[in-house]
Amino acid sequence: MRAGEGGDCPGAPAGGEAAGAPARPDGGAGKSPGTAAAPPGTPGVPEGKAAVPAGSALAPGGRTDAPSGAAEGSGGSAGEPSPAAGEPGAPSPPQARERGFWRIMLWASVLGVALPAAMLASSLYLFVTGQRFGALPEGDRLRRAEASPLYRDGAFRNPGPRTEPGGAGERLARLARAYGPGSRKAPAEALPARATDLGALPEGSLVWLGHSAFVLRLGGVTLLADPAGASGSALPWLVRSFRGTGIYPAEALPAIDLLLVSHDHPDHLDLAAALALRDRTGAALCGLGTGAHLERWGYAPGRILEGEWWDSFAVGGLTVTLVPALHGSGRGVRRDQALWTGFAIEGGGRRVFYGGDSGYGPHFGEIGRRLGPFDIGMVGVGQYDFAWPEAMMTPEQGFRAALELRLRRLVPVHLGRFGMAAHPWDEPLERAFAAARAERRLRLVTPLIGETVMLEDETALYMPWWRGIP
């Protein structure tokens, strides 16, 4: 209620005139308790206006019947009177407090979501752009990749039509098998291995290091292919290596004359291994674009050899030819920016084949006709899955490819170190063993990790070491 308005005001002196009271015959205003007319000449009060006693609720600076604890003069900006309680647009103190509370909660919620999201996005950006994911080709390397007939629509492509995986029923069955009870994606015990001095390998020998990695001594050259590490993934806590398979860490390997990299997937190009080998490697040979990773990791550009299929390179006493494969590449968000490949290696009067990762296709027959026969070959027959039927082979497909390659002996690889597909860890070995018994034209070689295989010894027998390991 504003000064000068009528109304009862408990505790105010009686005898005041109320505005709006019935007029007296003499024209004076009616009396109202609690309001008194100001005597003529009262300072600061115009003649005829009601005087407001000091301390009254209507006096300037006086109190209304606000709840205890409310601040005096609160609710308005400096120099402007606040709307009195009860006037339109003037919230009551409880309403004002409630509105303030919800404003605070709204900003707290926004900050509580926005700040963690910004921190997560920044961390993810730094992680993805970190050296673990390597680098994309650029400059002359990119222009050379774009000039390749295998590079189309911004990426490298496999030749031929794309096949689709099996139907929904097959997918569900494979998932149930992979993740159901007793899936056995990893062995329950450490795998056996043999300690060998890799720096003193005899000429014409090779040593399998698990998965697809091997050391070859041929033509006076020490060659290492596709170094693996403790994880088969760019995310180090995923796809951990089996127990017992890490007895040859990269820092313990001897000096390497030639490093072969079939493609840039982390199970074939481990960052820690690449860094440990950097200053002990003479040259690295890989498909177009893959050298971008090595260069970012400190390999001198002059020591990186890159090519496309059917290109040949002479390194020491070896001639190495890049050969076709059906697969893919990529360590980060963008896929297939580097060319995947296999290798035909010739030196010291011997021929060795390494296929990298590949699905089955007519390229094996072409390689066999152009560059075969081979004394021995490493062919990937593990980590096959319904989700990538054209990127990896089953053991039976691997045997068919080995015959078309004209291999004398087959070392099944891409197994024995990581569980990356739905099948049990030892299934590829069992199926390869069964295929070898059915196909007498091809001898199966299944060494322990670290066991030396002599290329000229075509009669050596290898036991099924995986049996009996749960």
Give the model confidence (pLDDT) of 302-314 as tens digits. 999 999 999 999 9
CA-CA distance, 341 to 269, in Å (whole number)? 13
Residue 113: band (very low, low, confident or very high) from pLDDT cuts 50, 70, 90: confident
Query: Does 373 sit behind a cis peptide bond, omega within 30 degrees of 0 on the bond before it?
Result: yes
Q: Which tokens hold the place of 156? A: 């490298």
Residue 162: band (very low, low, confident or very high) from pLDDT cuts 50, 70, 90: low
Tell which wins on pLDDT, 133 or 11: 133
CA-CA distance, 395 to 430, in Å (whole number)? 9
CA-CA distance, 316 to 299, in Å (whole number)? 19
**Per-residue pLDDT tens digits for 54-92:** 444 334 444 444 444 434 444 444 444 555 555 555 556
Q: Which residues have C-beta within 8 Å of that of residue 324, sequence separation ≥ 6?
A: 159, 309, 341, 342, 358, 361, 363, 366, 367
Asked if residues 411 and 453 have their Cβ atoms less than 8 Å apart, the reply is: yes
With vertex at residue 201, the alpha carbon angle to CA 197 and CA 205, rounded to the nearest 5 degrees, is: 130
Helix (H) or strand (E) run with residue 431 in it: helix 427-438
Residue 95: band (very low, low, confident or very high) from pLDDT cuts 50, 70, 90: confident
**Per-residue pLDDT tens digits for 329-369:** 999 889 999 999 999 999 999 999 999 999 999 999 999 99
What confidence score (pLDDT) does residue 117 get? 66
* CA distance to 185, 239, 417, per residue, from 425 (Å): 5, 13, 9
Q: Which domains does the chain have, with CATH numbers?
A: 170-454 (3.60.15.10)
Percent of the chain surpassing pLDDT 90: 60
Parallel, antiparallel, or unpaired for β 31-32 and 221-225? Answer: unpaired
Q: Indicate whether 49 pLDDT > 80.
A: no
Asked if residues 48 and 3 have their Cβ atoms less than 8 Å apart, the reply is: no
What confidence score (pLDDT) does residue 183 get? 73
Q: Which residues have C-beta within 8 Å of that of residue 137, sequence separation ≥ 6?
A: 145, 288, 289, 291, 292, 337, 338
CA-CA distance, 10 to 14, in Å (whole number)? 10
Percent of the chain surpassing pLDDT 70: 72
Measured in degrees and rounded to the nearest 5, phi and psi for residue 436 equal -65, -35
* CA distance to 101, 104, 120, 121, 279, per residue, from 107 (Å): 10, 5, 20, 21, 54
Parallel, antiparallel, or unpaired for β 376-380 and 350-354? Answer: parallel
Q: Which residues have C-beta within 8 Å of that of residue 347, sequence separation ≥ 6?
A: 218, 219, 220, 221, 316, 317, 318, 319
**Per-residue pLDDT tens digits for 211-255:** 999 999 999 999 999 999 999 988 877 889 999 999 999 988 999
Residue 256: band (very low, low, confident or very high) from pLDDT cuts 50, 70, 90: very high
Tell which wins on pLDDT, 206 or 119: 206
Q: Indicate whether 317 pLDDT > 60.
A: yes
CA-CA distance, 393 to 364, in Å (whole number)? 12
What confidence score (pLDDT) does residue 20 get? 40
**Per-residue pLDDT tens digits for 365-401:** 999 999 999 999 999 999 998 777 889 999 999 999 9
Average pLDDT, the chain: 81
Asked if residues 341 and 287 have their Cβ atoms less than 8 Å apart, the reply is: yes
Q: Choose the weakest-confidence range: 80-94, 285-299, 322-336, 453-467.
A: 80-94
- For 152-172, what is the mean pLDDT? 74
CA-CA distance, 428 to 377, in Å (whole number)? 17
CA-CA distance, 26 to 450, in Å (whole number)? 125
Tell which wins on pLDDT, 23 or 116: 116
Parallel, antiparallel, or unpaired for β 304-307 and 281-287? Answer: parallel
Q: Which tokens hold the place of 362? A: 């007519």
